[in-house]
Amino acid sequence: MIPLSLRIMPRLSLAIPTCGYHGKGDALLDDLLRTVQIQSFKDFEIVISDHSEDDKIETKVQEFSELFDVKYHRNSDKRGNSSANLNKAISLCTGEIIKIMFQDDFFYDDEAFEKIYYNLAGDDSKSWLLCGTNHTQDNGHNFFWDIFPRFNDNLLDGVNTISSPSVVAFKKDVLVRFDEELIYLMDIDFYYNLRRTHGEPIYYDDILVTNRIHQDSISSNITNREELLQNESIYCKKKYD
C-alpha cells in the first residue's frame, strides 16, 4: 500500500464498503477487483472500509496492493450498518469523481472507469451520473434483467427503478451521504436526496456494472421486509415533508 505522504490525488476513487458475507466476502471482493484490474482507465484509487471481524478482507486487499493504489480501513464503528460503512469509505476518497461499488457486484465493461470519468468530469452542468446495469445468478456466466435507471413518482414508496448504489458516481464536491437510520431504503433515499440537492443526473444508458443476485446479499437477509419498508417510507416522506 502506498504511504499517504506519497500519494498523488487520483482522477477517480472507487469506494467499496466490505463485510464478511458469511465467510464469502474475500471471494466476492476478489471477483470485483479482477474486473477493476482490466479497466482501461488507470488513474484511480481504491478505498475500502471493512466491517468484517476477521482478516480475510485485509489479506485479499494485500494481494492486490502492488497492482492498485489502495486505502484499507478496518471500520469497527456501527458494524453491520451498511450506510455508515459506505459513508466512511466515501469520506476517505480523494478523487475528482467518486464511484460507489458494492463488494458483491462487479464491472461488466472494461471501459467503465473511462466512460464514467470523461462523461461526468466533462459536464460542468451535472454533479452525478447513473449508469446501466444487468444481473447474474451464476457468477457472471449468464446475464439478464438490464436496467437503465430512471426516477418515478413512487420512489419513496420503495419502487426502485434505479437499482443498487453500484450504478452511482458523483463529483467530490457533492456532500449528500447515506442516511444511517435507514436499511431497506438507504439507496432510494440517497437517490432522492441527490436529485433534490443537485438536480438531474447524467443518465448514461450503457451497461457498465453487474449486480449479483445471491442468498447471502444484504437485501436477501432483511427480516420483516414489509413492515420495515412501510416504516422507512414514512420516515423518508416526513424528512422531505
Those residues with Cβ within 8 angstroms of residue 186's Cβ, 6 or more apart along the chain or in another chain: 82, 83, 178, 179
Between the alpha carbon of residue 20 and those of residues 5, 46, 102, 109, 187, the distances in Å are: 30, 18, 13, 26, 21
Cell numbers of 108, please?
Answer: 461488466
Domains of the chain listed by start with CATH number = 4-239 (3.90.550.10)
pLDDT of residue 221: 59
pLDDT of residue 43: 97
pLDDT of residue 5: 43
pLDDT of residue 74: 96
| Angle subtended at Cα 104 by Cα 228 and Cα 174, rounded to the nearest 5 degrees | 70
How many residues are recorded in the chain? 241
Distance CA 74, CA 51 (A): 7
Instruction: Return left, alpha or beta for 223; rule: phi > 0 is left, psi -120 to 50 is alpha, else beta.
Output: beta
pLDDT of residue 141: 95
Between the alpha carbon of residue 29 and those of residues 64, 121, 138, 171, the distances in Å are: 11, 27, 16, 24
pLDDT of residue 225: 80
Between the alpha carbon of residue 111 and those of residues 69, 108, 115, the distances in Å are: 19, 9, 6
Q: Per-residue b/e over 8-45, b at no fewer than 16 CB within 10 Å? A: eebbbbbbbbbbbbeeebbebbebbbebbeebebeebb
pLDDT of residue 222: 64
- Determine phi and psi for 15, rounding to 5 degrees: -95, 115
Q: Is the distance from CB of 89 to CB of 177 less than 8 angstroms?
A: no
Q: Report the chain (241 residues): mean pLDDT per 10 consecutive residues.
A: 59 97 93 98 97 95 93 94 97 98 97 98 98 95 97 97 98 98 96 98 98 72 81 96 82
